[in-house]
Structure 1
């Protein structure tokens, strides 16, 4: 039987670590290649409109700003990263954190690309898999790269945790 406290703590550590690695990747992409990543204020704006029963937008860019949207978005970004780590540990078991392997981490990373493609982008008014954006292929590729890096981050964070647990 899985220890729920261990599951939560490991999810917090691995998910936060993977999300930090994803954010470092975004900063490097911005500085070296001028590649813009998602402005998490838009995620916060989307979430902020939930209280008014608004879950999708013609375009989130034109939706009314929400007080504290940037903070809401960044908090949500990390909670989502932690939730996906929780999912990994539920599927592969808590023992995976003691002996991490690359396969489960990269699978979760790539599979989580479904979240922006089929939930966030349509709700933001960008269409399924960014189909309504000026360059859908580029947007899709960026989402896939970012979530692949997140998967690599899951593995690296778990590897570091496993070393600390020894």
Structure 2
């Protein structure tokens, strides 16, 4: 990956994650539905070196200093990493002529992470199956990750128009 592709991918990943966070803020303010607390992500990451990969529920684990910052940094690093998906599927053409379809597909593919890794590790079950309202949690995850895909497309399209 050359340096230009690298920087465009980083910018797209950060921008798409910002769009996702904007949607989460709207969800909180307008719909009164709290988004994921990234401190929980940080807590999970900080407990990994102790061999604690899976929790009965991450909510019962004690707070750890630095968990909030760790969670937010990890959130943005993953957003950058996920921005590589359309490059893998479509190649360099993605950065020249991005499509909304590829952005949305990327958003859908990123659902693998919460459904099969984070939610089970947090004790919430596969695809939030152990939460009080699994289908609501799934729908919110879907919308949030699609907002990431829309953001990825939008940011990449803006960069392509400036090139």
TM-score, scaled to structure 2 = 0.96
Aligned residues: 163
User: Structure 1 residue runs of 4+, over 4 Å off?
Assistant: none
Match of 2:141 in 1: 143
Q: What pairs up with 1:1-166 in 2 under 5 angstroms? A: 3-165=1-163
Partners in 2 of 1:86 and 1:13 — Cα distance? 11
Q: Residue 157 of structure 1: SS of its match in structure 2? A: helix
Shift of 1:7: 2.8
Partners in 2 of 1:54 and 1:70 — Cα distance? 18
| Root-mean-square deviation over aligned CA pairs | 1.0
Partners in 2 of 1:73 and 1:88 — Cα distance? 25
Partners in 2 of 1:87 and 1:6 — Cα distance? 17
Shift of 1:33: 1.2
5+ long unaligned stretches in structure 1: none
Q: Residue 154 of structure 2: SS of its match in structure 1? A: helix
5+ long unaligned stretches in structure 2: none
